[in-house]
Amino acid sequence: MHALSARLKVQKGNFSLDVEVNFLKEITGIFGPSGSGKTTLMHLISGLEKPDEGHIEIDDSLILDTSKNWNLKSRKRKIGYVFQEGRLFPHMTVQKNLLFGSIYADKDQQNIHFDEVVDLLEIRGLLEKRPKSLSGGEKQRVAIGRALLSAPKLLLMDEPFSSLDVALRRQIIPYLIRINKKLGIPMLVVSHDLPDLLSLTQELFLLRNGRVEGHGNYFDLIQSEKSLEIMRGAGLMNVIPFKVELHDVENGLTHLINRDASHEIHVERELINDCCKVGDELNVSLRPEDIAITLNEISDISIRNQLKGNITKIIKKENRTYCLVDVGFLLIVSITQASQQKMNLAVGTEVYCLFKSMALQINI
Amino acid sequence: MNELLNFSEDELLAIGLSFRVAFWCAIFILPPSVFLAWWLARKQFRGKSIVEGFLNLPLVLPPVATGFILLLLLGTNGLIGKYLDEWFGIKLAFSFYAAVIASMVVSFPLAIRAIRLSIEMVDPGYEEAAKTLGANSLQTFIRVTLPLALPGIISGFVLAFARSLGEFGATIIFAGNISGETQTIPLALFNEIQVPGHETAAFRLLLVAVVFSFAAMSFSEILVKKLHHRK
């Protein structure tokens, strides 16, 4: 069942948006370059803007239908909107901010309690503070908590990564995953940063010039030339779910194993920190440029991670060649056209994908 | 020096009256100016400039002319005043209320301007956030816009109060110069200057006018600074 389905059309000066989207109960990413209409789409869904034509349903209840002249106001839509800048009320303490919307929420629909939200987002120490004295990440967590306490059926997140500096931006991810899993609230996350978005979800909608240019699983999307073209400039990324298999304390390595236990990779323990126990699941990100391809396994080399697979697709863009290699899961590898020609790589060729463990990024 | 503090009974009456007029003027003016300021700051509509021009008219119109208009409208034989007298027996002209009304009309644009500026400085993003959290327009206004614009609203109140303390032209035409009833500080000052040998009395009133006007304006400036600081 769809958590939200929407058909929306709007003309704003030279820009027009014309989209049809269906989102599931999980986390869905909306990716697009700036100016692609991401924020307009969010505003239309939340009711902050009105479309020229449109139809929106959430959980099968009608929110908007311009043909029937039906347009539920923002405040009645039960959609939590977490703005890019947080927009915490500066004249209220964190606690008052959090409770702002709860007095308007139906008591029987409020399945999340104040204490639960405060603990989930780890903001108990901030309750008496003013927004002014909070860090970017703290502000964002409070803004999420405030939206949750208004008992929303859906959570919209506008660029949750971009208001934070690089070192902190991914800290928000585990909170978002926890909210979705524990509270079962569907989430739409808008971002122009593909690697960050991918570390949160692989279900994507691609938006360009106000049109949906593709949607579905990331690995299905990269097989289409048009989708690849849109995502290419934003930093393609391999995101692979792994499980911690064992900590090899003696060699300072952690062994990770993929879902069907067909592959094992080794990473430096420092990368994992101490936060992961054996059996914990985590996402590993790997840039396509950081993978090398060889035709044979190489034994006298320091690189330990060598995954065997077959090339399933080759896509040429300018002077780069993207090879999709099925090593049990899909890997995107970016090489030069010269290498591809010299090695005579084609669909079906058996290859080994090599990468240093330092090239891996771990998202807990 | 003692002479400067030795206020006569009439002077004390004028000072007390001035404050009463100014206080009621600022109080009555506040609700409509907050509403109009919000309306002008947040809504776009046809003919907005005409409304703004009309509201700002008392700022540039000679106060004597404003007083004359008030007399024509609310005087005992005036357009509206006639019926007020006929139906309700209310005579506004040349009364304490006339002094308050004259002050209100003249201070209105100043109060609206100060309050409007402060509402315009409130990021509409906060209001949007309040709406997505379930608040209606009135709740949003009371819980978000109003507290964030509060320094400007107080500043508008103080400006209206101060402008009323200095009001002369409209008052003397519409309310007259009746000691104890409509004779405020500026009117009393005018009287004293007219009479030879009353320079000390005139100076006393001058001093009072300067001190209170200065205090009010400084207070208003502090509030404006606070508003900027908050942003």
Which candidate, B104, B120, B95, B115, places its Cα nearest to that of B175?
Answer: B95
Burial B105-119 (b: 16+ CB within 10 A, else e): bbbbbbbbbbbbbbb
DSSP calls for A94-130: HHHHHHTTTTTS-GGG--S-HHHHHHHTT-GGGTTS-
Instruction: Provide mean pLDDT across the span B176-199.
Output: 90
Q: Indicate if the pLDDT at residue B152 is higher than 80.
A: yes
For β-strands A350-355 and A330-336, DSSP reports them as unpaired
A174 & A292 share domain: no
User: pLDDT value at position A363?
Assistant: 66
How many pairs of residues across A and B have Cβ atoms under 8 Å apart?
59
pLDDT band at A282, cuts 50/70/90?
Answer: confident
Q: pTM for the complete prediction?
A: 0.81
Give CA–CA dist A92/A86, Å, rounded.
Answer: 14
Give the residue from chain A lying closest to B135, CA to CA: A75
B127 Cα to chain A: minimum distance (Å): 9
> Would you say residue A271 has pLDDT above 80?
no
In this structure, the dihedral spanned by the alpha carbons of residues A244, A247, A252 and A258, taken in order and rounded to 10 degrees, is: -30
Residues A89 and A104 in one domain: yes
Nearest CB among B125, B126, B133 relative to A150 is that of B133
Expressed as residue numbers, the domain containing A353 is 238-363
Backbone region of residue A320 per phi and psi (left: phi > 0; alpha: psi in -120 to 50; beta: other values): beta
pLDDT, tens only, B54-86? 999 999 999 999 999 999 999 888 899 889 888
Closest by Cα among A301, A295, A300 to A335: A295
* Co-location of A220 and A246 in the same domain: no
Closest residue of chain B to A48, computed from CA coordinates:
B128
- Report whether pLDDT(B96) > 90: yes
CATH of the domain at B211: 1.10.3720.10
Q: Indicate the DSSP class of residue A74.
A: G
Residue A157's pLDDT band, with cuts at 50, 70 and 90, is very high
Rounded-to-integer distance, Cα A330 and Cα A317, Å: 19
Distance CA A86, CA A137 (A): 10
Residues of A whose CB is below 8 A from B122: none
Which letter does DSSP use for residue A124 in this model?
G
Q: Which of B121, B133, B148 to mutate to test the interface with A (most CBs of A within 10 A)?
A: B133
| Radius of gyration in angstroms for the set of CA atoms belonging to chain B, rounded to a whole number | 20
- On the question of pLDDT at A168 being above 70, the answer is no
pLDDT value, residue A353: 92
Helix (H) or strand (E) run with residue B139 in it: helix B137-140
CB-based contacts of B130: which residues, under 8 Å, 6+ apart?
A: A89, A100, B139, B140, B143, B144
Two structure tokens written together for A133: 């004295």
Per CB-CB distance under 8 Å, the chain B contacts of A79 are 132
CA distance B90 to B93: 9
DSSP 3-state assignment of A75?
helix
| Distance, first Cα to last Cα, chain B | 46
* Shortest CA distance from A106: residue in chain B: B134
The answer to whether residues A325 and A177 belong to one domain is no
Are A220 and A251 in a shared domain? Answer: no
**Distance (Å, rounded) from C-alpha A73 to C-alpha A47?**
6
Looking at residue A192, its pLDDT comes to: 85
pLDDT at res. B131 = 95
Q: How far is A45 from chain B (nearest CA, A)?
A: 11
Rounded CA-CA distance A57/A43 in Å is 15
Query: Mean pLDDT across the stretch A236-262?
Result: 82
**Which of these three, A205, A232, A259, is where a domain ends?**
A232
Determine contact: A100 vs chain B, CB below 8 A: yes
Percentage of residues of chain A with pLDDT beyond 90: 34
% chain A with pLDDT above 70 = 95
Q: Which residue has 């034994």 as its token pair?
A: A299
Domain match, A221 and A103 both? yes
DSSP state of B144: I
Q: Which of residues 146 through 165 in chain A touch B, CB cutoff 8 A?
A: 146-147, 150
In this prediction, residue A265 carries a pLDDT of 82
| Torsions phi, psi for B143 (to 5 deg) | -90, -20
What would the 3-class secondary structure string for A173-224 be?
A: HHHHHHHHHHHCCCEEEEECCHHHHHCCCCEEEEEECCEEEEEEEHHHHCCC
Task: Decide which of B159 and A169 is more confident.
Answer: B159
Say how many Å lie between the first and final Cα of chain A, rounded.
Answer: 29
Residue A364 scores a pLDDT above 80: no
Q: Which of B131, B148, B230 sits opposite A75 (nearest CB)?
A: B131
Query: Which residues in chain A have their CB less than 8 angstroms from residue B138's CB?
Result: none
Contact by Cβ (8 Å): B30, B156: yes
CA max distance for chain A:
71
Rounded Cα distance between A31 and A360, Å, is 23
Strand partners, A18: A9
pLDDT digits (tens, 9 = 90+) for B191-215: 999 988 888 889 999 999 999 889 8
Instruction: Give the Cβ contact number of residue B69 at 10 Å.
Output: 18
Q: pLDDT of B7-32, one tens digit each?
A: 888 889 999 999 999 999 999 999 99
Domain that holds residue B104: 2-230
More confident residue, A176 or A111: A176
pLDDT average, residue stretch A232-245: 80
Query: Which CATH number does the domain housing residue A305 bear?
Result: 2.40.50.100
The domain boundary, picked from A208, A232, A256, lies at A232
What ipTM was estimated for this complex?
A: 0.81
d(CA A124, CA A104): 23
Whether A166 has a pLDDT exceeding 70, the answer reads: no
Amino acid identity of residue A278, one-letter, is V
- Of A181, A204, A232, the position where a domain reaches its end is A232
d(CA A214, CA A206): 5
Q: Which of A196, A214, A197, A195 is nearest to A205 (CA)?
A: A214
Would you say the C-alpha torsion A214, A66, A151, A86 has a positive or negative sign? Answer: positive
Look-up of token digits 């928000």: A172
Indicate which CATH number applies to the domain containing A200.
3.40.50.300
Residues A49, A182, single domain; the answer is yes
- Return the higher-pLDDT residue of A237 and B144: B144
Q: In the 8-state DSSP scheme, what is residue A259?
A: T
Is the predicted pLDDT of residue A274 greater than 80, yes or no? Answer: no
Residue B153 has pLDDT above 80, yes or no: yes
What confidence tier does A142 reach under pLDDT thresholds 50, 70, 90?
A: very high
Is residue A20 domain-shared with residue A107, that is, in the same domain?
A: yes
B227/A246 Cα distance (integer angstroms): 58
Q: Is B76 helix (H, G, I), strand (E, B) or coil?
A: coil
Q: Domains in chain B: how many in total? A: 1
Which DSSP state fits A149? T
pLDDT score, position A126: 94
Asked if residue A293 and residue A163 are part of one domain, the reply reads no
Q: Same structural domain for residues A247 and A323?
A: yes
Q: Do B132 and A89 touch (CB under 8 A)?
A: no
How far apart are the C-alpha atoms of A4 and B137, rounded to whole Å? 26
| Residue A74 at interface with chain B, using a CB cutoff of 8 Å | yes
> What's the number of domains chain A is made of?
2
Please tell me the distance from the alpha carbon of residue A21 to that of residue A2, in angstroms, as a whole number. 10
Q: Average the pLDDT over each of A4-18, A98-112, A155-169, A176-190 and give the range with the smallest value.
A: A155-169
Output the average pLDDT for chain A: 86
Q: How confident is the model at residue B103 (pLDDT cuts 50, 70, 90)?
A: very high
**Average pLDDT, stretch B101-116?**
94
Considering the domain architecture, whether residues A26 and A175 belong to the same structural domain is answered as yes
Nearest to A306 by CA among A290, A294, A314, A322: A294
Rounded mean pLDDT of A270-281?
A: 70
Q: Does residue A93 belong to the interface with chain B, where contact is any CB pair within 8 Å? A: no
Mean pLDDT of B142-165: 92
